[in-house]
């Protein structure tokens, strides 16, 4: 495997027939890190990935991999490899020949390329399926083969386009840890596009939240969760309540909201009514409607909630520790 490389985008712009898809973004992804591009559909995350891969021309700006500007290089010369959302495994070739495809294109003989493909299939625990065709595999197995095929080119950067979206939820969680394991094992840079904030939190060293072709925030997952920069990031990442407080826009984590007895005068910052109770197993989600008409969500531990249970319609007071309030800047 080759060395990990850093990836740097300098005011990279993508325009399709006048429509702006990616708007002059700047981003630095450290070599060997796991980066997730996160955002709703149409936010420009896939276009960004495809530009890094070389499957889409850059309208303006520069893409650097390592210390080289790769704008005009064909995909195979960038040291990147891409795993496609649909996997794009060639249906007419066996699993082994799919994995060996890049070697075959370079003119490596059949015996050698199949040997090397077998070793790669071992890495993703698919060795015994070498002679099958892709259509005979389950979604998860196809994904492993696609991963092996991409890694066969010995990339220094692996690009993954919504790799887990086609899998069922159970498999998704399993493949998530598998991806993390393989990334740690190979030590190369992973750039992973997803619209699931849970996936990004679980995998990434660096989460890049995108909106409307721009980067709303690029930071480690904990920072994104605890200190979202804008209302958009807070809303997209979930578990946040965005309210106006003394002329500031602040956000409160749902698990930082204290639901107090209605008569509590000392800790109360708002008066509210319980509008909804949702039992979720480890915790309980409490929907609240304040007197000012704000809708808030509090999440309480299962035991804490049932120590003094609430029911819809109950009047309560709401409080929070001063340090729990995080001020947001305006959406760009």
Partner 1 sequence: MTERRPRSFYVLACFFGLFLLFLYGPMISILVLSFQGPEGGLVFPMTGFSTHWFQRLWEGGGQVEIGSALRRSFALALVVMVLTVSFSVLAGLAFRRQFRGATLLLYVAIASLIVPSIVVSLGIALEFRLLDDAIKAFGASAGIDWITNDFVSALGPFTSGLGAHLTWTLPFGLLIMFAVFNRFDPAYEEAARDLGATPWQTFRHVTLPMIAPFLIGVAVFGFTLSWDELARSSQVMGADNTLPMQLAAKTTTVTDPEIYALGTATTGGSVLLVLVTFTLVSLMQRQRRKG
Binding site for partner 1 (CB under 8 A): 53, 55, 74-76, 80-82, 84-86, 88, 90-95, 97, 101-102, 104-106, 131-133, 135-136, 149-150, 152-153
Residue that is written with structure tokens 């892709």 in the block: 134
Least gap, CB of 131 to partner 1 (angstroms): 6
Least gap, CB of 136 to partner 1 (angstroms): 7
Enter the DSSP assignment of 58: -
Least gap, CB of 238 to partner 1 (angstroms): 31
Burial label for 309, CB within 10 Å (0-12, 13-18, 19+), is exposed
What is the distance between the alpha carbons of residues 142 and 280, in angstroms, rounded to a whole number?
33
Nearer to partner 1, 76 or 314 (CB): 76
Nearer to partner 1, 52 or 243 (CB): 52
Nearer to partner 1, 87 or 225 (CB): 87
Least gap, CB of 166 to partner 1 (angstroms): 13
Nearer to partner 1, 55 or 271 (CB): 55
Nearer to partner 1, 9 or 81 (CB): 81
Which of 162, 152, 199, 191 minimizes the C-alpha distance to 86? 162
CA distances from 326 to 100, 235, 297, 321 (A): 51, 13, 16, 11
Phi/psi for 187 (5° steps) reads 70, 15
The angle subtended at Cα 204 by Cα 201 and Cα 207, nearest 5°, is: 80
Least gap, CB of 146 to partner 1 (angstroms): 8
What is the distance between the alpha carbons of residues 186 and 215, in angstroms, rounded to a whole number?
28
Whether residue 314 contacts residue 259, with contact meaning beta carbons closer than 8 Å, is answered with no
Nearer to partner 1, 161 or 283 (CB): 161
Least gap, CB of 35 to partner 1 (angstroms): 19
């Amino acid at each position: 495997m080759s060395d990990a490389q850093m990836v740097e985008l300098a005011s990279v712009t993508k325009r399709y027939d006048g429509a702006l898809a990616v708007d002059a973004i700047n981003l630095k992804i450290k070599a060997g890190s796991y980066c997730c591009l996160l955002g709703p559909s149409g936010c420009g995350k896939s276009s960004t990935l495809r530009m890094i891969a070389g499957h889409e021309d850059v309208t303006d700006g520069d893409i650097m991999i390592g210390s080289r500007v790769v704008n005009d290089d064909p995909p195979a010369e960038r040291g990147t490899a891409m795993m496609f959302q649909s996997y794009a495994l060639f249906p007419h070739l066996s699993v082994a020949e799919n994995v060996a495809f890049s070697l075959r294109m370079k003119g490596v003989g059949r015996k050698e390329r199949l040997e090397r493909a077998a070793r790669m299939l071992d890495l993703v625990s698919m060795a015994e399926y070498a002679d099958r065709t892709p259509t005979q595999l389950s979604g998860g197995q196809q994904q492993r083969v696609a991963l092996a095929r991409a890694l066969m080119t010995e990339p220094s950067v692996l690009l993954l386009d919504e790799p887990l979206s086609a899998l069922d939820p159970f498999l998704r969680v399993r493949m998530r840890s598998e991806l993390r394991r393989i990334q740690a094992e190979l030590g190369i840079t992973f750039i992973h596009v997803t619209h699931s904030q849970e996936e990004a939190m679980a995998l990434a060293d660096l989460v890049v939240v995108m909106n409307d072709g721009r980067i709303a925030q690029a930071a480690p997952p904990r920072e994104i969760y605890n200190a979202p920069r804008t209302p958009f990031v807070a809303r997209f990442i979930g578990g946040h309540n965005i309210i106006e407080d003394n002329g500031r826009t602040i956000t409160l984590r749902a698990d930082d909201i204290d639901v107090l007895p209605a008569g509590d005068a000392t800790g109360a910052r708002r008066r509210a009514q319980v509008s909804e109770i949702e039992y979720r197993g480890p915790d309980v989600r409490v929907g609240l409607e304040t007197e000012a008409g704000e809708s808030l969500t509090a999440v309480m531990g299962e035991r804490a909630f049932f120590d003094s249970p609430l029911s819809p319609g109950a009047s309560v007071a709401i409080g929070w520790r001063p340090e729990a309030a995080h001020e947001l800047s305006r959406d760009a």
